[in-house]
A and B are shown apart, each in its own frame.
With several copies, the nearest count.
Chain A
């Protein structure tokens, strides 16, 4: 048992942290956000150079052979910096499917993903589905030698910059059946995409498929979707911890400098205790993010589902407390767009909601019997 980073991991994290510190300050981020893409193509190239885009893929496929923990460590740095690029969608979500795809497809796509020329997205949410991965109305059917997909997906993160979509679509079974859901790969040229800004300053899109030619990735695809989402939840947990740590640190710094009633507000015990409660929440979330890596790797699907649900609950609760309190302890200044703290709060709010918020998962976990077996 060892929670320390290996030497390789330390080197990776340090270099990424240095790169982001140099090139992704809060003011630089504002510039990136104002670009046409809503993020920085230059940074995207830098990620490729640093090996962040090929990180989780096997070396044989043209990747760098990193494990989930490596991905998570990068996600934490992305969280600390509130990066805007489609790294999570391309590498964690898209990459999760790609790693599980057929060898030819991997051979064809991984090098392109790794060099930054191919961006991926996951088209899953539908108008009625909310957070249920198995609630799929988009259809897929055989046509000629291949498949075509029809339907509409909403809230596709970075859907407006993706070159390819991994899409869930139903080819058999009724609404909300767990069977009959395939995973398909669709080229963006066969989709109609409407991009928009998300509340955390990121990008997403609504995507429509009308007789879109599609490559089958998995015919009974739900288990694959769940496995990929479990990994994504682990990465989101680390991202959230990165956000929380920054929000907490900013708050502490502010408390030490902001003067009211003739002394720093950090000298007021009631606020000190609030900051301590934030630390408790942060430590619990950090612990749970480690557990997330274990849970996502769990081979028993029921165990894995319970595990990641618990992760979403703890990380969501901690993120909410730290986000809200970081604003409250700052006071007005953190309510402004010009100040970074509010952006961490917004990102934590969005992070919680992705793949279902704490409320969704506490119910799911409770219905599933919880973590402690009554024996």
Chain B
């Protein structure tokens, strides 16, 4: 039993940190420190910098451009990006569709798509959820019918994140109506520019445009856009979702936000004193810091197990990471909003509305309420926290 990173891994951490410090565009960093999601340009620019360095696709095999890191190093890299804060490599490309193509795709698909994915020459989006298939994904209805050398797709996807940026979508379609729920589904790739595709924005409660509805009306894609076997798309989906082991723990991101919170709490006044002097505020932050430390150790346990066994089997800890990771992020976002006090009431962003000519609110206050509102989604998507509890009860507790 050795609970520490090796000296080499610590050295690697310093190398990553130094690289990010030197290479991350200042504007991107400033933007993200303010709590804003990076723009498309920022994401693409940064991922290309990483790609040039050979670090854009940490999870991929060396053959396809992966750096060949151990689980520990992948973790360190993720952490350092989140703490910088810097954009993470685009998840749809790197953690979702890429691994599916590597696992299930043809050689031609790999050669065609993977290098472009790594460089974000194509921006991908995910077409899984439908209006009637949320927590119950297997209830999906979007159809693909084989017609000669083509698939003809009809139906609707929803909650499609950043579809407005996307060049391609990977989607689950029902290809056999007679089969039982989880059977008869196929995993298909589709260019977003095809005739018959309509993207309609969904504005979320804080006013942001992150998600979309995507409609398919007799959209025709070539037959070779099927990944894996026909009617076996559920295997791809399960594989993809199973890769989401650490994604929502986001320990580094939460640590970065807690730092930010503490800085704000030194500036914000409460009762005529810095808010950080309020014992109850401090207690609330500290409760989260403790949970985060435990979560960090939980992540380490999963990584250490991965390094030993490489079985990659789902284990109960994955649900723990999801539940605790999202609770922590939601908790920090709520404390950030509360730290701003009345100044959290301002809607919008002074950078967008013109100069902050008076002192409408401190710059750090903008968007904090919006993030709190928006982050309620975290316990809903990616398998709601209720679904996670179902999984734990059934799969690990035997109930």
Contact = CB atoms under 8 A, between A and B. Distances in A.
**A and B touch in their complex, CB below 8 angstroms:** yes
Interface of A: 1-6, 9, 69, 125, 127-132, 135, 152, 154-155, 175-176, 194, 196-201, 204, 206, 208, 252, 255-256, 259-262, 266-273, 275-277, 279-280, 283-288, 290-291, 293-294, 310, 313-314, 324, 327-328, 331-332, 334-338, 342-343, 345-346, 349-350, 353, 357, 359-360, 362-363, 365-367, 370-375
Given A270-B389, A362-B286, A279 B320 contact: yes
B177 interface: no
B120 to A, nearest CB: 26
B294 interface: yes
A372 B262 contact: yes
Interface in B351-381: 353, 357-361, 369-370, 372-374, 376-377, 379-381
Contacts of B342: 125, 130-131, 154-155, 353
A332 B380 contact: yes
Contacts of B358: 152, 194, 206, 208
B266 interface: yes
A313 B290 contact: yes
B304 A272 contact: no
The 4 closest A-B pairs by CB, nearest first: A342-B205, A374-B262, A287-B297, A272-B393
A282 to B, nearest CB: 9
Interface string B20-47: 0000000000000000000000000000
B1 A284 contact: no
A230 to B, nearest CB: 15
A194 B355 CA distance: 13
Interface string B261-290: 011001011111000001111111111011
Contacts of A197: 347-348
A370 B359 contact: no
Contacts of B385: 328
Contacts of A196: 346-348, 353, 360
A291 B271 contact: no
A303 B33 CA distance: 27
B52 interface: no
Contact of B1 (A6, A127, A288): A6
Interface in B192-226: 202-207
A372 B359 contact: no
B3 interface: yes
B180 interface: no
A201 to B, nearest CB: 8
A277 B389 contact: yes
A186 to B, nearest CB: 17
26 contacts: A3-B3, A125-B342, A154-B359, A176-B272, A196-B346, A198-B347, A199-B370, A201-B347, A206-B360, A268-B386, A273-B389, A276-B389, A280-B324, A293-B3, A313-B286, A314-B291, A331-B380, A332-B129, A336-B203, A337-B205, A363-B283, A365-B290, A366-B285, A371-B286, A371-B292, A372-B289
A288 B294 contact: yes
Residue of B1, B320, B347, B384 with most partner-chain A CB within 10 A: B1
Contacts of A130: 268-271, 341-342
Contact of B317 (A261, A283, A291, A365): A283
Contact of A324 (B296, B341, B376, B393): B376
Nearest to B303: A1
Interface stretch (B60-68, B102-110, B111-119, B130-138): B130-138
B294 A285 contact: yes
B392 interface: yes
Given A1-B303, A294-B3, A314 B390 contact: no
A20 B355 CA distance: 38
A260 B136 contact: yes
B5 interface: yes
Interface string B323-365: 1100000000000011001111111100001000111110000
Given A3-B1, A3-B304, A366-B282, A373 B348 contact: no
Contacts of A125: 342
Nearest to B71: A1
A271 B316 CA distance: 17
B159 interface: yes
Contacts of B88: none
Interface residues of B, number: 104
B356 to A, nearest CB: 10
Given A206-B360, A273-B389, A372 B369 contact: no
B173 to A, nearest CB: 20
B379 A328 contact: yes
B303 to A, nearest CB: 7
Contacts of B369: 199, 349
B278 A2 contact: no
A269 B387 CA distance: 11
B4 A294 contact: yes
Contacts of A277: 389
B259 A372 contact: yes
A285 B297 CA distance: 10
A67 to B, nearest CB: 9
Contact of B392 (A69, A127, A279): A279
B95 to A, nearest CB: 21
A260 B135 contact: yes
A4 B337 CA distance: 38
Contacts of A373: 259
Interface string B386-399: 10111011001111
Contacts of A272: 389-390, 393, 397, 399
A319 to B, nearest CB: 13
A155 B343 contact: yes
Given A155-B343, A276-B397, A374 B263 contact: yes
A2 B390 contact: no
A129 B273 CA distance: 10
A219 B289 CA distance: 36
Contact of B134 (A206, A287, A331): A331
Contacts of A269: 390, 393
B301 interface: yes
Contact of B4 (A1, A131, A342): A1
Given A270-B389, A363-B283, A372-B255, A284 B324 contact: yes
Contacts of A273: 386, 389-390, 393
Contacts of B203: 336-338
A135 B337 CA distance: 21
A359 B335 CA distance: 11
B152 interface: no
B1 A2 contact: yes
A350 B369 CA distance: 9
